[in-house]
Amino acid sequence: MRRIVFALAFLLTTTLAQAIDPLPFANEAEEQRFQALARELRCLVCQNQNIADSDAGLAKDLRNEVFEMMRAGKSDDEIRQFLVDRYGDFVLYDPPFKAVTLVLWVGPILILIVGFAIARNMMLRGGPHPDLPGPIDDKVDR
Amino acid sequence: MRYLIPLLLFLGLGVLLFSGLGKDTRYVPSPLIDKPAAAFVLPELRDNTRSIDAKQFTGTPYLLNVWGSWCVACQQEHPVLMAYAKTKKIPLVGLNWKDDNETALRWLAALGDPYDAIPVDADGRVAIDYGVYGAPETFLIDGNGVIRFKQVGPLTPEIIATEIEPRLATMGVK
């Protein structure tokens, strides 16, 4: 039991920790802007983490780069574009809708539609199973 | 007929999943192919009084190999680079990425030094410009300073034969 409590406590500490290495933010607004931006950028070394959460060396470099670009007065879009130019759309957790990412965006919807169509066909085609009682007929007097 | 559609769907899914089996999920296609290689001026590892300017390589095709003494796969790749350097076909530039100079020099002393130039990218700035996300990575850059091919992971004799040599042939290097 105690072990479990300790394990859970550790989980809490990791979610509470924000940036791993503190950057010299001038104010809270700047920090929030940075955190929002870093959270939508993928760390390419540890691909299922964003650069805000990752402890990898490259993620740290990218955080510094993003921070310096913010300081240099670059807009969020300019910063995103800087990284996309170098690492491709893959660096964005919210990839843009275009020819290469078409399957990514449309695929799941397509599969859902096909699934519904199949389910509908199966339900309509069979009709009631012969062994089951038919639909209750309200008009029958008792 | 009744089972045809589920069968087709199953086969479709099977083909999709099977095609993904051999793929390296860490591979990220680079948007930098056919784009000009980023400029840099960095100190030379073996002589820190000199600096290396990316511009000095324009005119001939060359390989830019990103390495670090901390990188295990680089060690595995190293004999391939040593062998390729002996052919003296094109210059081999070794971008030393986020490394310690002393350790890097010792690493080269132990394993051999195949490089014609070693720019030191200690803070990883230049590597970001090249979209590097893991060492080793190797770029084939043509005489106009345009990136033609990028290899993520160690170079092998096969990759040199199938990816690099044919491209060099089109650039007039035999």
Between CA B28 and CA A113 the distance in angstroms is: 30
Provide, rounded to the nearest whole percent, the portion of chain A with pLDDT above 90: 30
Q: Is the pLDDT reported for residue B80 higher than 50?
A: yes
- Residue A16, pLDDT score: 44
pLDDT band at residue A3, thresholds of 50, 70 and 90?
Answer: confident
Residue reference for tokens 């931006």: A37
Residue A90 with chain B: CB contacts under 8 Å: 28-29
Domain ranges of chain A: 18-95, 96-126
Q: Label each residue of chain B as H, E or C.
A: CCCHHHHHHHHHHHHHHHHHHCCCCCCCCCCCCCCECCCCEEEECCEEEEEEEHHHHCCCCEEEEEECCCCHHHHHHHHHHHHHHHHCCCCEEEEEECCCHHHHHHHHHHHCCCCCECEEECCCHHHHHCCCCCCCEEEEECCCCEEEEEEECCCCHHHHHHHHHHHHHHCCCC
Q: How far is A4 from chain B (nearest CA, A)?
A: 34
Q: Which fold has domain B24-170?
A: Glutaredoxin (3.40.30)
Six token digits for residue B46:
């073996």
Residue A101 with chain B: CB contacts under 8 Å: none
CATH for the stretch A18-95 = 1.10.8.640
Q: Is the pLDDT reported for residue A42 higher than 60?
A: yes
**Which residue from B171, B7, B149, B144 is spatially nearest to B64, judged by alpha carbons?**
B149
- Residue B112, pLDDT score: 96
pLDDT, mean over chain B: 92
Q: Is the pLDDT reported for residue A9 higher than 80?
A: no
* Nearest-Cα residue of chain B relative to residue A86: B131
What are the tens digits of pLDDT across the range B23-76?
A: 766 666 788 999 999 999 999 999 989 999 999 998 999 999 999 999 999 999
Listed ranges A57-61, A105-109, B13-17, B108-112; the one with the highest mean pLDDT: B108-112
What are the tens digits of pLDDT across the range A52-111?
A: 777 778 888 999 999 999 999 999 999 999 999 999 888 888 877 877 778 888 989 999
Domain ranges of chain B: 24-170
Nearest to B133 among A65, A85, A87 (CB): A87
Q: Do A86 and B25 touch (CB under 8 A)?
A: no
